[in-house]
């Protein structure tokens, strides 16, 4: 029995959906590759100014205005709006994790954003974004310093017990 030519292709919707899925997958892969390449370039960026007290104070002002509501006053990712977000904000107090990020990577993340975090490329100047990097680094330094103090206290206590 011959196929009925008036019926046309019985699977046009299926083929269209398959084409859309394949196109989306390709776009996602390209985006991911470009994202990794951009991050590799960002890793090499160097902060043009040293983290002075003035830069950190300016970074604090920008942080309070643009970041604190999500990342929290203490930089621990527990800001007042954090629970409303689809992705938990970064915890800047994790010294080990923060040590894994180059300044350029933090600058790039602030500049470009990533859902749900907005991009600050057009909201803050280059200098303000670098100052934010300087300020954000202070959270991990406080945590690291506090851990060092705890270690010294424990070692001192252990030495006193040993000498008793």
Reported as a single tens digit per residue, the pLDDT across 75-122 is 999 999 999 999 999 999 999 999 999 999 999 999 999 889 999 999
Measured CA to CA, the distance from residue 69 to residue 78 in angstroms comes to 8
Measured CA to CA, the distance from residue 69 to residue 73 in angstroms comes to 8
Helix, coil or strand: residue 117: strand
Measured CA to CA, the distance from residue 134 to residue 59 in angstroms comes to 7
Reported as a single tens digit per residue, the pLDDT across 35-44 is 555 667 888 8
How many other CB atoms sit within 10 Å of the CB of residue 110?
24
Domain ranges of the chain: 18-163
Helix, coil or strand: residue 112: helix
7 has pLDDT over 90: no
Measured CA to CA, the distance from residue 103 to residue 11 in angstroms comes to 52
User: Tell me, what's the pLDDT at 69?
Assistant: 97
Measured CA to CA, the distance from residue 159 to residue 164 in angstroms comes to 9
CATH of 18-163, one of 1.10.760.10, 1.10.10.60, 1.10.600.10, 3.40.50.300: 1.10.760.10
**pTM of this structure:** 0.68
């Amino acid at each position: 029995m011959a196929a009925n030519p008036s019926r046309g292709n019985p699977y046009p919707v299926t083929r269209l959906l398959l084409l859309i899925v394949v196109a989306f997958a390709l776009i996602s892969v390209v985006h991911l590759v470009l994202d990794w390449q951009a991050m590799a370039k960002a890793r090499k960026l160097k902060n043009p100014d040293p983290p002075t007290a003035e830069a950190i104070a300016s970074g604090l002002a920008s942080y309070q205005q643009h970041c604190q509501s999500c990342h929290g006053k203490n930089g621990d990712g527990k800001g007042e709006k954090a629970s409303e977000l689809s992705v938990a904000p970064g915890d800047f107090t994790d010294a080990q994790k923060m040590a894994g990020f180059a300044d350029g990577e933090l600058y790039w993340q602030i500049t470009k954003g990533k859902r749900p975090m907005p991009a600050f490329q057009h909201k803050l100047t280059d200098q303000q974004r670098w100052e934010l990097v300087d300020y954000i680094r202070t959270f991990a330094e406080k945590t690291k310093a506090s851990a060092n103090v705890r270690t010294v206290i424990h070692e001192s206590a252990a030495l006193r017990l040993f000498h008793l």
